Amino acid sequence: MANTTLLYYSKLLVRCSAYEKDGSGGGRVRVNGAAHRVPLQVGAALETKINRSLAGLMRPPVLSQPPTEEEAEGRRSQRQNIPSEKQTVDPFRQAVIVEGGVRYRQTVVVRSYEVGPDRTATLETVLNLLQETALNHVWMSGLLGDGFGATHAMITNNLIWVVSRMHVQVDHYPIWGEVLEIDTWVGSSGKNGMRRDWLVRGRSSGAIFVRATSTWVMMNKVTRRLSKMPKEVRDEISPWFIDRHAIDEVATDKIIKLDTNATYVDSDLKPKRSDLDMNHHVNNVKYVRWMLEVIFIIL
Amino acid sequence: MANTTLLYYSKLLVRCSAYEKDGSGGGRVRVNGAAHRVPLQVGAALETKINRSLAGLMRPPVLSQPPTEEEAEGRRSQRQNIPSEKQTVDPFRQAVIVEGGVRYRQTVVVRSYEVGPDRTATLETVLNLLQETALNHVWMSGLLGDGFGATHAMITNNLIWVVSRMHVQVDHYPIWGEVLEIDTWVGSSGKNGMRRDWLVRGRSSGAIFVRATSTWVMMNKVTRRLSKMPKEVRDEISPWFIDRHAIDEVATDKIIKLDTNATYVDSDLKPKRSDLDMNHHVNNVKYVRWMLEVIFIIL
């Protein structure tokens, strides 16, 4: 905390710290939130005074001693605490490695803001939890580099993961407060791909809620082209492969292109800031949210 | 599982179960999600065939033996497992009751989908976690009825909570993978209100990330009017009151109304299905998301 510079805008009720800027800009104030009074008086329109002086916030004041790039990076890795060796237990995420030391299992409680008006988890929540457990699996493997699930050798080679196929089968929707056990594991998929499967079960009943499978390939971050899987990446991940399928897929029907006669169309979709993930991409989860907005009328 | 009726739409890759419908409609198929192939081929437009036959899904088939209302309710409460007596430890939510048996503390890891493009938790995430811990606090108290934090006596009186004031002060934004400890507690606020405060800290450093305070009042669910706090409700919650403030508020400036000269305006906001919470309301969290979309340019 010693290096923290706090800026008070008491009139605004905004308080920001500057030290977390990752060393790149030297003292630009980060404002990705604002301490505020949300004036949600019952029946009254939304009122706020935050806007009044935000223009002033955009002009950054000069800070004393912004952290160097190494200092900022060091703090960040300490806070993230990504392991460099394989772990078998993660107490904070309530996870263990099972089945021969390669299959991941995490206990998760469905949260109040992860359910829709009918109190069951939304499909968006399901997909978020699949993404989360996949990343936590890589986290425990000791292979996670500084990226969205990329391994050390992938980072050396400028490679990122992209999903090429996903198949999610929901048997039942979990409800608010329900305790889930989510298993995920990986397997081979051809010469250059990786398969990842999931099984979501109710912890008390053991009933299966969701089965899912997916295929992942590698893309070069710079050229934006698909890449072969380098031998060193295969050497990293192949010890984790299991040959087990969460869904028995009888056929892999080709998905037909939509034409102008589609039943449900929304051509007015623009990605918002809150649609971007940490790769600055609109990922599969947000696409599904958009699809659901268009096709479902439930109320 | 014995009472489950599964409907297969193999052509569609959609599979739905009907047994979860809470007994109200007698066999209407719930479709709040669709097992699907999300066709996110790299660089290709989104393609789907889900839409092709959704019209068919809207015509509900007749199911054998939908559960009675009592059966559905029984299943639901078993799955939610809401305690009827005070608990001091919640292993699944990693929570404990501290400080004289009334203050709630939960350990939480910032998830991959809770951070923005800069890898720090969004303000929306912060507000979601405040909501979540508040509800989990009531969960552990043994007072939680069948509602969004409403106590048993509130339900008897047709009352729900509404927030009348909220003040959130962010000192630092937590980052992806960071382990947090969130404390929350309640106190009195005048004759008819309740105060709720929060403190969000980094678990390893103890550094404070967020301080927050709020005031809650009661609204009659039927008349939609504010209500006095009945004595039986006060008797339920007052044993939990602590006189401790997370934020020392020097002044409670009145928030001025916006006029047509506001710097940042978006008059084209419509609530989407995904903006509704389980009270079928757009709550404070979504309002803040909307505000941030309008006022921040960070990329």
d(CA B238, CA B188) in angstroms, rounded, equals 7
Q: For residue A162, with 0-12 CB atoms within 10 Å meaning exposed, 13-18 middle and 19 or more buried, which class applies?
A: buried
Instruction: Report pLDDT digits (tens) over A42-74.
Output: 222 222 222 222 323 333 333 445 566 666 667
Partner-chain contact B113 A277, CB within 8 Å: yes
Q: Compute the mean pLDDT over every residue in chain B, rounded to the nearest whole number.
A: 74
Partner-chain contact A92 B179, CB within 8 Å: yes
- B226 Cβ under 8 Å from any chain A Cβ: yes
Enumerate residues 6+ apart whose C-beta is below 8 A from A181: A105, A106, A107, A108, A200, A201, A202, A203
How confident is the model at residue A131, as a pLDDT?
94
d(CA A133, CA B38) in angstroms, rounded, equals 19
Chain B CB contacts of A37 under 8 Å are: 165-167, 255
How confident is the model at residue B211, as a pLDDT?
96
- B21 Cβ under 8 Å from any chain A Cβ: no
Partner-chain contact B40 A179, CB within 8 Å: no
Enumerate residues 6+ apart whose C-beta is below 8 A from B58: none
pTM of the model: 0.75
Enumerate residues 6+ apart whose C-beta is below 8 A from B213: B166, B167, B195, B196, B197, B198, B245, B246, B247, B249
Partner-chain contact B170 A293, CB within 8 Å: no
- B24 Cβ under 8 Å from any chain A Cβ: no
Show the DSSP H helices in chain A as ranges.
54-58, 69-80, 123-141, 152-156, 231-237, 284-295
8 Å CB contact between A104 and A95: yes
Residues across chain A: 299
Return the DSSP state at A64. S
Return the DSSP state at A24. S
8 Å CB contact between B126 and B178: no
How confident is the model at residue A227, as a pLDDT?
96
Closest among B231, B151, B148 to B192, alpha carbons compared: B231
Task: Give the burial string for A97-114 (b: 16+ CB within 10 Å, else e).
Answer: beeeebbbbbbbbbbbbb
Q: For residue A142, with 0-12 CB atoms within 10 Å meaning exposed, 13-18 middle and 19 or more buried, which class applies?
A: middle
At residue B102, does pLDDT exceed 50?
yes
Regions of chain A where pLDDT drops below 70: 1-73, 250-253, 293-299
Beta-ladder partners of B194: B188, B216
8 Å CB contact between A221 and A237: no
How confident is the model at residue B139, as a pLDDT?
93
Closest among B53, B255, B46, B249 to A50, alpha carbons compared: B255
| B49, B293, B296 member nearest A255 (Cβ) | B49
Closest among A123, A280, A284 to B33, alpha carbons compared: A123
d(CA A247, CA A214) in angstroms, rounded, equals 10
Instruction: Measure CA of the first residue to CA of the last residue in chain B; give whole Å.
Output: 49
d(CA B151, CA B141) in angstroms, rounded, equals 10
For chain A, what are the domain ranges? 6-80, 89-248
Q: Which pLDDT band, with edges at 50, 70 and 90, does B42 fall under?
A: very low
Closest among A100, A80, A78, A97 to A88, alpha carbons compared: A97
Partner-chain contact B42 A219, CB within 8 Å: yes
Q: Find the residue in B nearest to A168 (Cα).
A: B35
Chain A CB contacts of B81 under 8 Å are: 177, 179, 204
The phi-psi region of residue A65 (left if phi > 0; otherwise alpha if psi is between -120 and 50; otherwise beta) is left
Q: Which range among A42-56, A183-197, B80-94, B187-201 shows the weakest confidence by mean pLDDT?
A: A42-56
8 Å CB contact between A273 and B293: yes
| Number of cross-chain residue pairs from A and B with Cβ atoms under 8 Å apart | 314
Residues across chain B: 299
How confident is the model at residue B270, as a pLDDT?
76
8 Å CB contact between A198 and A184: yes
d(CA B86, CA B64) in angstroms, rounded, equals 40
d(CA B176, CA A123) in angstroms, rounded, equals 22
- CATH of the domain spanning A89-248: 3.10.129.10
Q: Find the residue in A nearest to B134 (Cα).
A: A112
Chain B CB contacts of A139 under 8 Å are: 177
Stretch 235-274 of chain A: residues touching chain B, C-beta under 8 Å: 253, 255-258, 262-264, 272-274
C-alpha triplet A211, A212, A218: angle, nearest 5°: 165
The phi and psi torsions of B48 (rounded to 5 degrees) equal -155, 155
Enumerate residues 6+ apart whose C-beta is below 8 A from B76: A175, B22
Amino acid identity, position A262: A
Task: Give the burial string for B196-219 (b: 16+ CB within 10 Å, else e).
Answer: bbbbbbbbeeeebbbbbbbbbbbb
Mean pLDDT of B203-227: 93
Helix (H, G, I), strand (E, B) or coil at A289: helix
How confident is the model at residue A99, as a pLDDT?
82
Element (H, E) at A162: strand A159-170
How confident is the model at residue B278, as a pLDDT?
74
Instruction: Report pLDDT digits (tens) over B142-162.
Output: 999 877 789 999 999 999 998
| A17, A164, A178 member nearest B79 (Cβ) | A178
- B44 Cβ under 8 Å from any chain A Cβ: no
Amino acid identity, position A61: P
Q: Which pLDDT band, with edges at 50, 70 and 90, does B69 fall under?
A: low
3-state secondary structure chain B: CCCCCEEEECCCCEEEECCCCCCCCCCCCCCCCCCEECCCCCCCCCCCCHHHHHHHHHCCCCCCCCCCHHHHHHHHHHHHCCCCCCCCEECCCCEEEECCCCEEEEEEECCHHHECCCCEECHHHHHHHHHHHHHHHHHHHCCECCCCCCEHHHHHCCEEEEEEEEEEEECCCCECCCEEEEEEEEEEECCCEEEEEEEEEECCCCCEEEEEEEEEEEEECCCCCEECCCHHHHHHHHHHECCCCCCCCCCCCCCCCCCCCCCCCCCCCCCCHHHCCCCCCCCHHHHHHHHHHHHCCCC
Closest among A57, A74, A64, A60 to A9, alpha carbons compared: A57
8 Å CB contact between B194 and B188: yes
The phi and psi torsions of B159 (rounded to 5 degrees) equal -105, 145
Chain B CB contacts of A36 under 8 Å are: 167-168, 288
Enumerate residues 6+ apart whose C-beta is below 8 A from A230: A153, A157, A159
d(CA A211, CA B35) in angstroms, rounded, equals 9
